[in-house]
Amino acid sequence: TQLLEQSPQFLSIQEGENLTVYCNSSSVFSSLQWYRQEPGEGPVLLVTVVTGGEVKKLKRLTFQFGDARKDSSLHITAAQPGDTGLYLCAWPYRGQFYFGTGTSLTVIP
């Protein structure tokens, strides 16, 4: 059983479109992290959210932590080909990191 469920698994959109990907669980988390992994590379941390209801923005990326701290979303505005990659959410807990299976995003020029 996967602790963190991410949806959709795959997403292919045209450049300029908006999109939202989700990270859900039945558990309550102290914090959640979002990573982006480009083909042939390791994941890179985008953001850490720690407070229920928290919203963080990173240029065209908006991250939200659910009020109950059980879920998180990543919204991308006006997607660009450079946004292509695998988006992973992760729960850091006492030295361990639990990752979701990821959303593979392809932005078509």
Partner 1 sequence: EAQVTQNPRYLITVTGKKLTVTCSQNMNHEYMSWYRQDPGLGLRQIYYSMNVEVTDKGDVPEGYKVSRKEKRNFPLILESPSPNQTSLYFCASKGLDEQYFGPGTRLTVT
Nearer to partner 1, 9 or 18 (CB): 9
Nearer to partner 1, 20 or 37 (CB): 37
Residues 52-90 as b or e (16 or more Cβ within 10 Å = b): eebebeeeebbbbbbeebbbbbbebeebeeebbbbbbbb
Residue 101, interface with partner 1 (CB under 8 A)? yes
Which residues, 37 to 96, sit near partner 1 by CB under 8 A? 40-45, 48, 88, 90, 95-96
SS3 49: strand
CB of 16 to partner 1, least distance (A): 29
- 8 cis-preceded (ω within 30 degrees of 0): yes
CA 43 – CA 76 distance, rounded (Å): 18
Residue 102, interface with partner 1 (CB under 8 A)? yes
CA 70 – CA 80 distance, rounded (Å): 29
CB of 44 to partner 1, least distance (A): 7
Residue 10, interface with partner 1 (CB under 8 A)? no
Residue 24, interface with partner 1 (CB under 8 A)? no
Residues that bind partner 1 (CB under 8 A): 2, 40-45, 48, 88, 90, 95-102
